[in-house]
Copies of this chain bind each other. A is one copy, B any other.
Amino acid sequence: MKKFVNDPKDFVPEMLKGIALANPKTLKYIPDYNLIMRADIPIADKVSIMQGSGSGHEPAHVMVVGKGMLDAACPGNVFAAPPADFVYNTTKLVASPKGVLHLLNNYTGDTMSFEMGREMAEADGIEVRTVTINDDVAVKDSLYTIGRRGVAGNFFVIKACGAAAEQGKSLEELEAVGKHVVDNVRTMGMALTGCTPPGKGSPIFTLAEDEMEMGIGIHGEPGRKRVKLAPANAIVDELFEAVSSDLPFKSGDEVALMINGMGGTPISELYLLYAHAHELCEKKGYKIKRNYVGEYCTSLEMAGFSLTLLKLDPELEALLAAPAEIAIRVF
């Protein structure tokens, strides 16, 4: 296993400790619940926003905790949903009088934990609403999912709801913002290689030297098809067609375009992919108002990428443009 790891069972806690040590003034780490939270939360006149999901998708979600983004993230182990008591205890710790928004990528295990955690919190009198994210157009149902999976489009839900929360919007309004993003965002991903969870020690799947998988899930769940490796532009063409025909996006639409790396793909290749995706948008008459190239939702060290399109309106664009602060930063 070619990874940086000590005892595999410490992989997640050691990563979380690193995030906390790198952000001593702004973040708090509570090891009992794998919890990274803003140090200044709860704030009385602001809804708190939290997400769980499995680890292994960083920066989602523990590294996007910060002002104008998530208030807390309580991930499970690598590719495993957080236990319900992580969700419950995190909800209690972040609860503000204005309530708590749960963001949830649509996987069966996460859904169970979040539903149970929400019920327990509501029994304590905390008001909770949930937005479920299911932007992956690749497959209808999947190995760990009834209905569509939630993948990189999740970033836009966090960003928009995070900005709206800072503006003092109510829990109901935030739920509406989140659902509006979900209604307008579509993603599809693909992989050149598998990846190795530290606790497993071997790849979750393997692809031959001349193979790739189109429509892959972020836990290695099967996609649409396993095919021969193709030139970069042909891969972008196929993802773009699947994503843009799904909403569908139309000529004249204002959009955000995201090329998201899966963890092992260098940023040079992501910009090469972006160039072609940008040109396809122009050809279709979509107006790119915002672009995102980098890692937003990964699968450990998997080589691959996903393409996301989000249909914008002026309100949503302003929420995406609002300032925010997170653990990971260049400077």
Contacts and interface: CB of A to CB of B under 8 A. Distances in A.
Interface of A: 2-6, 11, 14-19, 21-22, 55-56, 58-59, 63-64, 159, 192-193, 209, 229, 231-233, 235, 263-276, 278-279, 291-296, 298, 300-301, 303, 305, 320, 324, 326, 328-331
Nearest to A326: B330
B331 A58 contact: no
* A contact patch SS: mixed
A232 B5 contact: yes
A175 to B, nearest CB: 23
Contact of A22 (B11, B56, B291, B328): B291
Given A294-B328, A331-B159, A268 B231 contact: no
A159 B330 CA distance: 11
A275 B6 CA distance: 12
Contacts of A3: 192, 269
A4 B267 contact: no
B278 A22 contact: yes
Given A232-B6, A278-B22, A272 B331 contact: no
A2 B231 CA distance: 10
Which of A18, A229, A275 has most chain B Cβ within 10 Å?
Answer: A18
Contacts of A292: 330
Copies in the complex: 2
Given A5-B232, A22-B291, 8 more contacts: A4-B269, A5-B231, A21-B275, A22-B293, A64-B330, A263-B266, A264-B301, A320-B331
- In the A-B complex, list the 10 residue pairs whose CB atoms are closest, starting with the nearest: A18-B271, A18-B275, A4-B232, A4-B269, A18-B274, A263-B266, A2-B192, A58-B268, A21-B278, A17-B275
Which of A192, A209, A263, A269 has most chain B Cβ within 10 Å?
Answer: A269
Given A18-B274, A278-B18, A56 B330 contact: no
A229 B272 contact: no
Given A193-B2, A232-B6, A295 B268 contact: no
A15 B264 contact: no
A138 to B, nearest CB: 18
A276 B13 CA distance: 12
A6 B58 CA distance: 28
Nearest to A14: B272
18 contacts: A4-B235, A4-B269, A5-B231, A5-B269, A14-B232, A14-B272, A15-B275, A16-B271, A21-B278, A21-B279, A55-B268, A58-B267, A63-B271, A263-B266, A264-B303, A267-B295, A292-B330, A296-B330
A266 B298 CA distance: 8
A331 B324 CA distance: 8
B265 A4 contact: yes
B303 A2 contact: yes
Contacts of A329: 294, 330
A56 B192 CA distance: 19
